[in-house]
Amino acid sequence: MAYITLTHWTTEKLTDDMLAAANDKFIPMIIKVGASKVQIMRTGESSICVITRYKDAGTAVAAQQRIAHIRSQAASEFPMTIVSTQAGEIIAGS
């Protein structure tokens, strides 16, 4: 069953440089450690949610140490803070 993580981030100001780095650097890094799809959704003027899909829970769990490193790197490069993280298996949908 597919597995999703949602990571909510906030920053003082969401810039074009941050979005470019997300697309050009961080999303490929997340895919490389096991994600099958990554999307970033703007949730407010200065907040985003990173939606990461894995093929299953085992793949997601195996990637978490490397994902923590990627999150740390993003937070050190940009003035961003993780507000919350949720994760779980997809149990219904189309």
Residue range 19-50, pLDDT digits in tens: 999 999 999 999 999 999 999 999 999 999 99
Q: How confident is the model at residue 48, as a pLDDT? A: 96
Is the model's pLDDT at 52 over the cut of 90? yes
Q: Does residue 8 form part of some domain?
A: yes
Tell me how many domains the chain contains.
1
> Quick check: pTM over 0.85?
yes
Residue 94 lies in a domain: no
DSSP symbol at 89:
E
**Among 29, 22, 27, 20, residue whose Cα is nearest residue 66:** 29
Q: Hunting for tokens 């899909």 — which residue is that? A: 53
| pLDDT score for 86 | 97
Q: What domain range includes position 85?
A: 3-89
pLDDT tens profile 60-88 = 999 999 999 999 999 999 999 999 999 99
Residue type, 42: R
CA-nearest of 7, 57, 8, 9 to 34 is 57
The CATH number covering residue 72 comes to 3.30.70.100
